[in-house]
Homo-oligomer: A and B are copies of this chain.
């Protein structure tokens, strides 16, 4: 089997955020997609190693911030390569709050979605969350959505170990 056949699958890049009590946290994923249109639902796959995963399991609520190509690299470093168990990722990150008080990013992003989990599936090291949309907005920008291919090729970006697409 040529496992490289997997590397031609296409993705975007997203910051998933959630909040439980006073603890807000977020992480970077490439695994968001719309799965139904009526009603509009999305799926989001997150590693069980991520604090964000556990917080969403407990609260059932999260936001998706959809990255543009010009996203400040510091956001990817902070949300993709550091753990919310060690730092407060939102402390020095400009952000907005959705109607439930969950943070999302606007700088460098294309749009955001507020999501409420309606089901989930355990797939081993990761969980697929299925969520309905609570809210969402498009930000005024001339930027284009960041794809995973663009991030790796143009931005020379590396991938955290918790990513499903990590090449060990």
> How far apart are the CA atoms of A108 and B35 in the complex, in Å?
26
Give which listed residue, B41, B45, B136, contacts A2 with CB less than 8 A.
B136
> How far apart are the CA atoms of A130 and B121 in the complex, in Å?
9
Give which listed residue, B7, B125, B136, B163, contacts A5 with CB less than 8 A.
B136
Decide yes or no whether A3 CB sits under 8 A from chain B: yes
- A38 (CB) vs chain B CBs: closest residue: B125
Copies in the complex: 2
Is the pair B123, A10 in contact by a Cβ cutoff of 8 Å?
no
Instruction: Report how many residues on chain A are interfacial, defined by Cβ distance under 8 Å.
Output: 57
Is the pair B163, A128 in contact by a Cβ cutoff of 8 Å?
no
Is the pair A138, B2 in contact by a Cβ cutoff of 8 Å?
yes
Give which listed residue, B11, B38, B147, contacts A33 with CB less than 8 A.
B11
Decide yes or no whether A66 CB sits under 8 A from chain B: yes
Decide yes or no whether A94 CB sits under 8 A from chain B: no
Over the window 129-152 of chain A, the binary record of Cβ atoms lying under 8 Å from chain B Cβ atoms (1 yes, 0 no) is 010011111100000011111000
Which residues of A are in contact with B by a Cβ distance under 8 Å?
1-12, 30-43, 45, 66, 110-113, 119, 121, 123-126, 128, 130, 133-138, 145-149, 163-168
